[in-house]
Structures are given as C-alpha cells and as structure tokens.
Amino acid sequence: MALFMLIHAPSGYAGISQLVEQASTPEVMFGQPAVYDSLLTRIAAGGESSARQLLEHAATPWAWRFEVVRQGLKRIGEPARLVILERLGTGKLPDGETVKNLVLLEKLGRAGDEASLAVHLKSGDGGRKITALRCLAAFGEPEKSLELALPLLADVDENVRLAAVWAVGELWKRYKLTDKNTGRLVKAVRLLLEDSMPQIRLTAAECLKALGSAAEPSLLR
C-alpha cells in the first residue's frame, strides 16, 4: 500500500531520492516491472530538474541504483544530455564522478559532442580517457573522433591503448569512412601488433581487418 501511494501520489509528494531508493531494490527491478516502469516515469517527470537531481546520485557505489539513474536520464533525453555536458564542462568534478558522468553520456550523446571529450582524452587519469574513448565510439562524428583517438594508440597506459584501438575499429566499422585516412590509420594500428599486451595485439588485428589490411600472423605471438 505504501508503495502504491508513493507511485500514484501527486507530483512533488515523493522526492527523487525516495523514488530512486524504491526503484533500485531487486524486488522491484526484477520482480515488479510495472511498478519499476511507473517509478521511472515519475523520476523523469521533472525534465531538467529531475536530471539535475538524478545526477546527484550518480556517485553511488551501488550498481542497481546507478542503473536507475541511467534509465531515468535516458527517459528524460535531451535535457539530461545538456545537463551532463554542462557538468562535464565545468572541469570541477573529481575524476571518479567525471567517469560516471561520461558513462551516462555514452547513451545520450550525439555527433558534435566529441568536442567536449577532448579535455578528458588528454587527462592524466586513465579511467577518464577510456570512458571518453567509449563515448567517441558510441556517438562521435567519425573523422573528428579518429583524430582525437589516434594519439592514444601510443599512450603509456596499456588499458588506454587497448580502448583506443578498439574505438578506432568501432568507428571505422560503423561509419565506413573514405580511403583518405586509411594509410595513416593502418600504419598507427600495425605498430600495436608488436605490443607487449596480447589483448592489444589481437584487437589491433581485428581493427586492421576492418581497415582492409590483414595482420601478419607471425606478429600475433
């Protein structure tokens, strides 16, 4: 009965925090889809205001709660995207919170937003670079995104190099760019066939296939 009253109460009766708390229980998320959907509808009802309140919960260490935040922002749509870009643009968020905002942007961003990722791709924090690369692969304008990703193929952090070569392959496969960039890309990616990390070598080989250049089997040691 209490849950019914919370869901069907007039707007403003329950705050975002209370609604998120209710929606993020496993009983509701996995056992009561209609209730979960109703809670998400109320969470998203305030548009930009709801997005700002939801983002205050993005730092949660709980995966289920973060998923409620993500789903709520997805329902809000464009106002949520603009609020996330605004927050990322301040440069004042701690690295951990920045990464979570980038994770949320991955599903909401659109071509043109890659310009806002440049500062994160040049960050000293590997997590920010990796998450920004995922964003590039998800929604970045292809030619501009490739220019942003290419320098990270030589990053000192092997996990960043892995994310970069994966992103280059995803961009190429998704957008089928013209041949004008192929030579430079192939040259940069082929260097990774000799990387010390096996997963990078394998991902580089897959990327080269997408680029139309077969990898040398002997280099995939």
pLDDT tens string 66-106 = 999 999 999 999 999 999 999 999 888 888 899 999 999 99
> 47: phi > 0 → left, psi -120 to 50 → alpha, else beta; which?
left
Rounded to 10°, the helix 158-175/182-190 angle is 150
**CATH fold of 2-156:** Leucine-rich Repeat Variant (1.25.10)
Phi/psi of residue 214, each to 5°?
-65, 140
Give the pLDDT of residue 177: 62
Integer Cα distance of 72 and 80 in angstroms = 9
Q: Whole-number mean pLDDT of the chain?
A: 87
Integer Cα distance of 129 and 161 in angstroms = 10
Q: Dihedral of the CA atoms 17, 19, 21, 23 (nearest 10)?
A: -150
The residue among 116, 140, 139 whose CA lies nearest residue 128 is 116
Q: What is the pLDDT of residues 139-156, one digit of tens each?
A: 999 889 999 999 999 999
Q: Structure pTM? A: 0.85
Give the pLDDT of residue 158: 97
Integer Cα distance of 76 and 59 in angstroms = 19
